[in-house]
Copies of this chain bind each other. A is one copy, B any other.
């Protein structure tokens, strides 16, 4: 397999520059709504980004002139579009929410992931397109809402797992049970954002500069292991100690750690050469990923 060129997407515009992969949802005329093809392309691009050593950070964004960053799922045809005939044949337990499949793909991506929320966001535009990212930048005027209980459905895309974990259950309940519409600096949600910018056009350039600085000055292996440790901290401080000790031992002997010390004492930026494809220890992942695939009934 050659290196991906990130071309040929219909709903996305994808560019790789200075180790930063920018994924732009290119559906401004449709308010950047989430539909089947967009879902598949997003899953694909985050899977590639995870595997492509050239990518150190991924930014998801939209055109700052669009009506919204993402105004949610396209539900013009009703909810039935969510359910596939294959799943329906199997029964209700066979359904896998597409927002959740995307959220898991982004959450598992071992590179630094950044959402640059330069417009309004609702539904899946708040959940899968924001919560599984490592950090989020937002426009201070963005109208944000988790409207699920006002539509007769439930918070999806693993938002009921991620949101309390990110912000605490007090804020998560305020957001998910009321379907309120607020802006990023509201105390219910402000802790979700790494930085809040005053204009729509400032959001992506700020996120890009942030991503480029980190792409240049952090170790790819360190980022992957740090993400794994935070996402899978273990059930106790003691269990975490076993895992971070082993991670320290492995990285402490690495070329990146040697360069980390050397560049520090030489007072210059580091030049990290480690890559996930060759330098991530085989011990990763140390947790057992739960398989969420449905096994079809064979009669």
Contacts and interface: CB of A to CB of B under 8 A. Distances in A.
Q: How many copies does the complex hold?
A: 3
Given A100-B245, A240-B158, A258-B152, A253 B79 contact: yes
Contacts of A97: 241, 244-245, 248-249
B92 A237 contact: no
Interface in A37-81: 75-76, 78-80
A167 interface: yes
A63 to B, nearest CB: 25
Contact of A274 (B152, B192, B218, B219): B152
Given A226-B177, A248-B156, A78 B236 contact: no
Contacts of A257: 79, 151-153
Contacts of A194: 174, 188
A187 B187 contact: no
B290 A150 contact: no
Task: From A190, A218, A255, A259, name the one whose CB has the most chain B CB atoms within 10 angstroms.
Answer: A218
A230 B135 contact: no
A191 interface: yes
A103 to B, nearest CB: 7
A179 interface: yes
Contacts of A164: 165, 230, 233
Contacts of A248: 82, 95, 97, 153-154, 156
Chain A interface mostly: helix
Nearest to A93: B246
Contacts of A246: 92-93, 95
A230 B169 contact: yes
Interface residues of A, number: 110
A79 B265 CA distance: 13
Contact of A176 (B80, B170, B226): B226
Nearest to A240: B161
A290 B239 contact: yes
Contact of A244 (B152, B158, B259): B158
A248 B159 CA distance: 12
A58 to B, nearest CB: 13
A82 B292 CA distance: 40
A35 interface: no
14 contacts: A78-B258, A82-B252, A92-B249, A92-B250, A103-B241, A104-B238, A156-B245, A160-B244, A166-B169, A167-B168, A171-B191, A179-B217, A187-B190, A236-B290
